[in-house]
Amino acid sequence: MSDDVGPRSKEETIRIHQANERTMLAWIRTGIALMAFGFAIARFAVFLRQLAAVGPVHAPASSLGSKWFGAALVALGMLANLLATIRYAQVRRAIERGDVGAPSAVLVYALGITATLIGLAMTVLLVHALGEE
């Protein structure tokens, strides 16, 4: 993956590095959002338990596995942040070597598939719980 166009100017190299940094920051924001959403889901289970303990309010006996799904989303967010940092470093080194081309899409596919599977499992549990009402 070498650059066939010739050497890049300093300005072009800086723009490429800045694009790499923006991409990394977008992944970090995504990871933080996943962690925050997971934390909120896990805390909801605690809230339901406390609500049921306080009084005669009808709260579901199970919290739909929200603790586990919350923890899974927090872990996925942490993984996204770690992999984003590793990918940033790899792309940075490639830019400095003068290599061009799209970076590997494995990170995108792995995180996307994992998030989809977690969402699918959450959907199945939610539909199951709604069917019990």
Q: Tell me the mean pLDDT per 10 residues along the chain, length 133.
A: 61 92 94 92 76 65 73 92 93 88 84 90 80 67
Q: What range does the domain containing 71 cover?
A: 10-132
Residue 27 pLDDT: 92
Residue 61 pLDDT: 54
- SS3 label, residue 2: strand
What's the number of domains the chain is made of? 1
Query: Rounded distance, CA 65 to CA 3, Å?
Result: 51
Range list of β-strands (E), the chain: none
Residue 1 belongs to some domain of the structure = no
Q: Is the CB of residue 79 less than 8 Å from the CB of residue 111?
A: yes
Residue 25 belongs to some domain of the structure = yes
What burial class does residue 101 get, using C-beta atoms within 10 Å of its C-beta: 0-12 exposed, 13-18 middle, 19+ buried? exposed
Residue 4 belongs to some domain of the structure = no
Residue 71 belongs to some domain of the structure = yes
CB atoms inside a 10 Å sphere around CB 104 = 11
Residue 5 belongs to some domain of the structure = no
Residue 83 belongs to some domain of the structure = yes
Residue 3 belongs to some domain of the structure = no
What burial class does residue 113 get, using C-beta atoms within 10 Å of its C-beta: 0-12 exposed, 13-18 middle, 19+ buried? exposed
**Which residues have a Cβ under 8 Å from the Cβ of 29 and sit 6 or more positions away?**
none
Angle 127-131-133 (CA atoms, 0-180°, nearest 5)?
Answer: 125
Q: For residue 30, give the nearest of 69, 82, 66, 67 by alpha carbon.
A: 82
